[in-house]
Amino acid sequence: MKNAVFASACIAGLALCAATPIEQADFRYGLTRVNDVLKKECARRGITITDWHIHLRGGMTAEMAAEREKASGIRSGVLENHGREWPLCNNEILAKFIAEAKKARMDGRSLPVGIQVNDRDWYRQISPENRAALDYVLADTMIMGTGPDGKPQRLWLLKEPIADPDAWMERYMEHNMRVLDEPISILANPTYLPTCIAGEYDRLWTEERMRKIIAKAVEKGIALEIQAESPFPRAKFLKLAKKMGAKFSFGTNNFNPKPKDLSRWLEVIDWLDLTADDIWCPKR
């Protein structure tokens, strides 16, 4: 692996220096040592890195995302959640969101604007005009089935133990494949598991299951997200995905304007020896 010694040495010190800013970090991503190394590594590898998972929520705005890009050199794509129980719940609200978000400018151009879809029939609910105005669509697999209240089950809120993890995993695989068959651009947090069974990750995510997910993503041209501060997906999946020709995207999945630690991005770039050819970008 070219220059792996340099990158690995940098990564080895991340735990120590991640919280040590060169200058005070605000929503713009101050020049922490992690971000400085990330910027240099991307430049060396010819990678133009974009955070495609910036939610306009909790005080975060498209204008702030543009300022962050200007200060950090990390490009910004902005989005919000779309669905019946989510902020963008109909076509009128969605159209206003897109129009407002596209007003933010970086070097005279608008930021890419997308949505995170949470209903599985989302593509039948969005008007052709809104579909055409979107630059990308992001989805994850973290809402599946219904809970005791009859509402969609948000897996990150799942408290009850799963009695039969293997049977559940078969249903979850079907759910994953259904999401990947939708006209999405990015699969966020691939291989996510609820906390109650996350300890069985290596057993439940067999190579056969991983290959099915990756093959479908490659077939559909869907990027696999590397998310800041997330343990998913793990190294085995990522290395297999690289070998199978998958494209990767980066995201932070913020809840407010507070910057996240980008060590995970740098770590994966080094693990996989990523180059520009491995990075997803929109077709338009």
Residue 147 belongs to some domain of the structure: yes
Residue 30 has a pLDDT of 57
Residue 283 belongs to some domain of the structure: no
Residue 20 has a pLDDT of 38
At residue 223, the 3 state secondary structure works out as strand
- Confirm if 181 and 215 have CB atoms less than 8 A apart: no
Residue 16 belongs to some domain of the structure: no
Q: What are phi and psi of 207, to 5 degrees?
A: -60, -35
Domain boundaries, position 256: 47-261
Q: How far apart are CA 121 and CA 184, in angstroms?
A: 12
- Can you give the pLDDT of all 284 residues of the chain as single tens digits? 444 444 444 444 333 333 333 343 477 665 577 888 999 999 999 999 999 999 999 999 999 999 999 988 899 999 999 999 999 999 999 999 999 999 999 989 999 999 999 999 999 999 999 999 999 999 999 999 888 788 899 999 998 899 999 999 999 999 999 999 999 999 999 999 999 999 999 999 999 999 999 999 999 999 999 999 999 999 999 999 999 999 999 999 999 999 899 999 999 999 999 999 999 999 75
Residue 47 has a pLDDT of 96
Residue 30 belongs to some domain of the structure: no
Q: What are phi and psi of 215, to 5 degrees?
A: -60, -40
* Number of neighbouring beta carbons within 10 Å of residue 28: 16
Residue 68 belongs to some domain of the structure: yes
Q: How far apart are CA 157 and CA 174, in angstroms?
A: 21
Strand partners, 227: 251
Residue 84 belongs to some domain of the structure: yes
Residue 88 belongs to some domain of the structure: yes
Residue 189 belongs to some domain of the structure: yes
Domain count for the chain: 1
Q: What are phi and psi of 266, to 5 degrees?
A: -65, -40
Question: What's the CATH code of the domain at 227?
Answer: 3.20.20.140
Q: Are β-strands 152-154 and 143-146 bridged in parallel, bridged antiparallel, or unpaired?
A: antiparallel
Q: What is the DSSP letter of 83?
A: S
